[in-house]
Each structure stands twice: as structure tokens, then as C-alpha cells.
């Protein structure tokens, strides 16, 4: 399966009976027969027979938990429709440069190295990975080493193309201020690349001498807070936002908060034993000095 947004790479939940019943009912309505359930999904027999197929349900369950049970049939039907479209996604051309305008970067957790692994590079200081995808109208496909080999291109070179495409696809009013009390900004377009726009934070935001705190709890969420002295006492609130949305939303990425300064990412707040732990790097003191301005001679 080539769709980037369908396999679940998060810890597998145990689904409650009501959710399983709802999924089984919609599968049956679509002609699928449930073979066996697994902790993170279900094995089904497709309409007309054939080999069993595994459908990961963890991300769907995250959405269902946030919705009324009466909305589940429509939610499940939409998920299965996207699944069918993804399976029928266009083939990737032999030369990726023929779809260069469709390339996009993705930011997420590293894939299980035991599985088929797309091309990717780590984002230093985060534990996250930048991958490449080819964007289609209803789905996306990861770029693999084999695709790069056929195209005679390096992943790093195509990443530059993908980032430029994302830059051009980002509206000028991408960020909205979250509240009048704090200058926290949220970015959301719903195009599946909002978290990836964290790679453009220092371009998209007005200049901030001491950098930015950045949270990417899920694929479709990006929160940014310019570093300031008044904000320091409340920055833990950004971590609470990250923790809650990482836990509740589909396609989770991380509940950490990072500090981004001059293009370099640093861990800043992490969750340890249920508590938010602020651990700024030594370089953060130097950044705060930039807020104070030059010292009088």
C-alpha cells in the first residue's frame, strides 16, 4: 500500500466493543467480511474474495473518541472511502522529476526500521524524521530509495524542491493568534502538511531575536510562541497543549516542545514520569541576552 496517511505507526490501542461493532457494520455494508481483529486494526476479506487485507484503525479511533457515536457511521464511511482511493492511487512515475511539483516534505516519528522504510533524514535535536511524499488529490505516497535510484536523484536535492513547493503552498495568513492574552500562533490549513511547516517557522513568523518555541503534536497542528521574558513563566502551557493534542488527535507526532533559533532545533520541554520538565540548553541564555539588547559601554 502506497498511501502515506493510512498505516498506523503509533502504539496499538485496544478498541472498545462499541467501536468495533460500528466498524464491522460499516465494513459489512461495503461488502467486506471481518476475518480477525488485532489490537491496532482488523483483517478483512475484500468484496468478491481474495487475500485478507489489514486495515489500521488507531487514527480512526482517535477521531471517533472526539465525536458523538451517532457520527461514527459517516466518519467510518469516509475513512473507508479514503482507503479505497488510496489503494487505487496513481502509480508513481519512473522519474520523480516528472511530478516534481507534487513533492512535499513530511515531519514525523521515525518509521520502524523492520518495515519498508521511505527515504528520510533525521531532524537533529528532535528525534523526528523528515521524509518526502508525492501528493495526490486524495492521498500521498512516500518516496523510497528505489524511487530515488530510478530517478537518479539524491533525497536531499528533492527535499529542497519539496520544501520550496510547501513554501509556495503556504498562505500568507497561515498563522492565527490563539488568544489576546498570549502571542501563541496556530497554523492550520488541513492539507496534511501543517506540522511540516514547522520547517519554515523562521520564515513565516516575524523576526524574534531569541527564537521560537515550537510544538507539533500531530500532523495537522503547528503551534509557535516567540520567546520573550513575559512568556517564560507560562511556556509550560504550550507543553500542556502539546501533550493533550498528541494524546487525542489522529496522526500524532510528539508531545515535546522545541526551541528553534537560527535554524537549529533544541529540546526544551519534555514529559517525564507525567511531569513537564523544562531543560533549556546553555545556548538559550545567549539568546535571552539578545532580548536584553547590547549592554551600555
Asked whether the beta carbons of 81 and 104 are under 8 A apart, the reply is no
Q: Taking a C-beta distance cutoff of 8 angstroms, is the pair 169, 193 a contact?
A: yes
CA dist., res. 22 & res. 20, Å (int):
5
What pLDDT, on a 0 to 100 scale, did the predictor assign at position 8?
A: 43
Calculated CA dihedral for residues 158, 159, 162, 168, nearest 10 degrees: -120
Grid coordinates given for 163: 520544501
Helices (H), 30-136: 58-65, 72-87
pLDDT digits (tens, 9 = 90+) for 242-286: 999 998 888 899 999 999 999 999 999 998 888 889 999 999 999
**What is the C-alpha to C-alpha distance for residues 27 and 49, in angstroms, rounded to an integer?**
14
Which residue would you say has higher pLDDT here, 73 or 42? 73
pLDDT band at 110 (very low <50, low <70, confident <90, very high): confident
For the chain, the domains span 17-87, 96-168, 175-292
Least Cα distance to 81 among 33, 124, 143, 138 occurs for 138
Backbone phi, psi, residue 46, to 5°: -70, 165
* Count of CB atoms situated within 10 Å of the CB of 62: 19
Higher pLDDT, 117 or 104: 104
3-state secondary structure at position 174 = coil
Q: How many CB atoms lie within 10 A of CB 185?
A: 20
Q: What is the pLDDT of residues 132-154, one digit of tens each?
A: 999 987 677 889 888 999 999 99
Is the distance from CB of 147 to CB of 92 less than 8 angstroms?
Answer: yes
Residue 86 has pLDDT above 70, yes or no: no
- In residues, how long is the chain? 297
Residue/partner pairs of 62-65 with CB below 8 Å, 24 or more apart: 62/248, 62/249, 62/250, 62/252, 63/250, 64/19, 64/22, 65/248
Residue pLDDT, tens place only, 24-36: 998 888 888 888 8
Q: Which residue has the higher pLDDT, 279 or 292?
A: 279
Amino acid at each position: 500500500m502506497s498511501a502515506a496517511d493510512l498505516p498506523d505507526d503509533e502504539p496499538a490501542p485496544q478498541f472498545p466493543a462499541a467501536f468495533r461493532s460500528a466498524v464491522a457494520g460499516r465494513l459489512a455494508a461495503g461488502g467486506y467480511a471481518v476475518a480477525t481483529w488485532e489490537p491496532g486494526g482488523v483483517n478483512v476479506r475484500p468484496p468478491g474474495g481474495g487475500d485478507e487485507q489489514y486495515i489500521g484503525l488507531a487514527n480512526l479511533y482517535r477521531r471517533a473518541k472526539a465525536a458523538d457515536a451517532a457520527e461514527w457511521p459517516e466518519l467510518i464511511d469516509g475513512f473507508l472511502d479514503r482507503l479505497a482511493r488510496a489503494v487505487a492511487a496513481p502509480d508513481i512515475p519512473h522519474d520523480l522529476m516528472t511530478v516534481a511539483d507534487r513533492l512535499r516534505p513530511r515531519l514525523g516519528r521515525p518509521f520502524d526500521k523492520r518495515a519498508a522504510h521511505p527515504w528520510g533524514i533525521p531532524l537533529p535535536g528532535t528525534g523526528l524524521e523528515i521524509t518526502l511524499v508525492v501528493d495526490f488529490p486524495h492521498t500521498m505516497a512516500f518516496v523510497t530509495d528505489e524511487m530515488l535510484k530510478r530517478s537518479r536523484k539524491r533525497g536531499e536535492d528533492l527535499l529542497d524542491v519539496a520544501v520550496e513547493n510547501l513554501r509556495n503552498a503556504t498562505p500568507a495568513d497561515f498563522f492565527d493568534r490563539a488568544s489576546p492574552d498570549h502571542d501563541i500562533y496556530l497554523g492550520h490549513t488541513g492539507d496534511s502538511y501543517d506540522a511540516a511547516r514547522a520547517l519554515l517557522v523562521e520564515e513565516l513568523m516575524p523576526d524574534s531575536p531569541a527564537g521560537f518555541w515550537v510544538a507539533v503534536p500531530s500532523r495537522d497542528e503547528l503551534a509557535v510562541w516567540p520567546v520573550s521574558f513575559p512568556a517564560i513563566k507560562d511556556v509550560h502551557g504550550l507543553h500542556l497543549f502539546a501533550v493533550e493534542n498528541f494524546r487525542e488527535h489522529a496522526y500524532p507526532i510528539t508531545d515535546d516542545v522545541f526551541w528553534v533559533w537560527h535554524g537549529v532545533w533544541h529540546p526544551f520541554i519534555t514529559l517525564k514520569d507525567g511531569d513537564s520538565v523544562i531543560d533549556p540548553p546553555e545556548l538559550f541564555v545567549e539568546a535571552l541576552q539578545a532580548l536584553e539588547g547590547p549592554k551600555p559601554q
